[in-house]
Amino acid sequence: TQPIIAFIGLGHMGGYMAANLVAAGYTVHGFDLMPAALDTAASKGITIAESGEAAAAQADIVLTMLPAGVHVLSAYPALLAAAKPGTLFLDCSTIEVDHALQAAEMAQKAGFEAVDAPVSGGMVGAEAGTLTFMVGGSEAGLERVRPLLEVMGKKVVHCGANSTGQAAKICNNMLLGIAMVGASEAFALGQKLGLENQVLYDVISTSSGYCWAVNVNCPVPGPVPTSPANKDYEPGFATALMAKDMGLALAALETTGVNGELGARTAAIYAELVEEGRGGKDFSDVYNRIAGTIST
């Protein structure tokens, strides 16, 4: 028989993910602090609970999809206290590696299995059920949640013990953030040196500088018609979300003592873009800061 799911956090991502579980036949008891999120979830067949604890008390798996580590750590004590023996705690939020470890320890101390499984793929992937899950936890824990993950996503990577899912996610996104700054500097410099964007794209995209930031999400309008630069930098992957993930990477650089100069600098650049009110643009809008052009 299918496990009963408590789904805590029915926001931009969680709303779609929970709806996909319902569509696959799971019973989902959902909770969110925002009434509007509850209304949308109810319309998609999610059973609305009075509280997170009420949802957790009825569940075999408690899935959290919350904004940040503080939300997970502050929600866990009540959820753990309400859960029945044998419940598994699955956190899909993107949070600090240290917070993921703390959450897993809290669950384990209370006698529960814990798995972290942050996602990539954005709202488009959440709606389509094509997310990638990066999983930290035991093999047994992963096997219990794998059927759910395969409903909400299409790729599941077991990264290692608890918190390694978060670790993989922030290492990838740190590289992505750095690569986008690098791609933007290359195009800004190329223009000053007399190169057409299309010419430089034709060279880089087939040479050793090729990367997702150039080949798929090219930060200048023109060469890749589907890139956000052609739609006034409408996301895509918003600068505010990149700034959040770079902040998580920066925290991990600091805890581990890794000399990540580019990671730290890139975190500062994205944080400044958010402060300038540009958090809603695609993260390739960093090109406009570097080139001194302004997108509207």
Catalytic positions: 169
Tell how strand 5-8 and strand 28-31 pair up: parallel
Q: Which stretch binds ligand NAD (CB under 6 A): 5-13, 53-61, 99-107, 144-152?
A: 5-13
Closest CA to 245 of 95, 126, 127, 138: 95
Query: What is the DSSP-derived secondary structure letter of residue 284?
Result: G
Range 110-129, binding ligand NAD (CB under 6 A): 119-120, 122-123
Secondary structure E strands in the chain: 5-8, 28-31, 47-48, 61-64, 88-91, 113-116, 119-120, 131-136, 153-160
Range 227-246, binding ligand NAD (CB under 6 A): 241, 244
Tell how strand 5-8 and strand 61-64 pair up: parallel
- Are the beta carbons of 129 and 154 closer than 8 angstroms? yes
Q: Which residue, judged by CB position, is nearest to ligand NAD in the bound state? A: 11
Which C-beta is closer to ligand NAD: that of 153 or that of 223?
153
User: Per rule CB under 6 A, is residue 31 in the interface with ligand NAD?
Assistant: yes
Q: Which stretch binds ligand NAD (CB under 6 A): 25-33, 105-113, 252-260, 267-275?
A: 25-33
Q: Which two tokens stand for residue 262?
A: 């580019």
User: Per rule CB under 6 A, is residue 67 in the interface with ligand NAD?
Assistant: yes
Minimum separation from the CB atom of position 158 to ligand NAD (A): 19
Range 167-226, binding ligand NAD (CB under 6 A): none
Q: Which stretch binds ligand NAD (CB under 6 A): 27-35, 96-104, 214-222, 253-261?
A: 27-35
- Are the beta carbons of 286 and 184 closer than 8 angstroms? yes
Query: Three-state DSSP class for 134?
Result: strand
Query: Three-state DSSP class for 172?
Result: helix
| C-alpha R_g of the chain | 20
Residue from 14, 129, 137, 228 in contact with ligand NAD (CB under 6 A) = 14
Q: How far is CA 6 from CA 44, 135, 140, 141, 165, in A?
A: 15, 19, 20, 16, 21
User: Per rule CB under 6 A, is residue 73 in the interface with ligand NAD?
Assistant: no
User: Per rule CB under 6 A, is residue 96 in the interface with ligand NAD?
Assistant: no
User: Per rule CB under 6 A, is residue 65 in the interface with ligand NAD?
Assistant: yes
Residue from 40, 94, 132, 284 in contact with ligand NAD (CB under 6 A) = 94
Rounded CA separation 121/208 (Å): 26
Ramachandran angles phi, psi of 76, nearest 5°: -60, -45
Which C-beta is closer to ligand NAD: that of 122 or that of 209?
122
User: Per rule CB under 6 A, is residue 59 in the interface with ligand NAD?
Assistant: no
Residue from 5, 6, 7, 8 in contact with ligand NAD (CB under 6 A) = 8
Minimum separation from the CB atom of position 52 to ligand NAD (A): 5
- Are the beta carbons of 243 and 289 closer than 8 angstroms? no
Q: Which residue has the tokens 């096997």?
A: 143
Minimum separation from the CB atom of position 30 to ligand NAD (A): 9
User: Per rule CB under 6 A, is residue 52 in the interface with ligand NAD?
Assistant: yes
Ramachandran angles phi, psi of 115, nearest 5°: -135, 135
Range 249-268, binding ligand NAD (CB under 6 A): none
Which C-beta is closer to ligand NAD: that of 98 or that of 185?
98
The contact set with ligand NAD (CB under 6 A) reads 8-14, 31-34, 37, 52, 65-67, 71, 75, 93-94, 119-120, 122-123, 241, 244
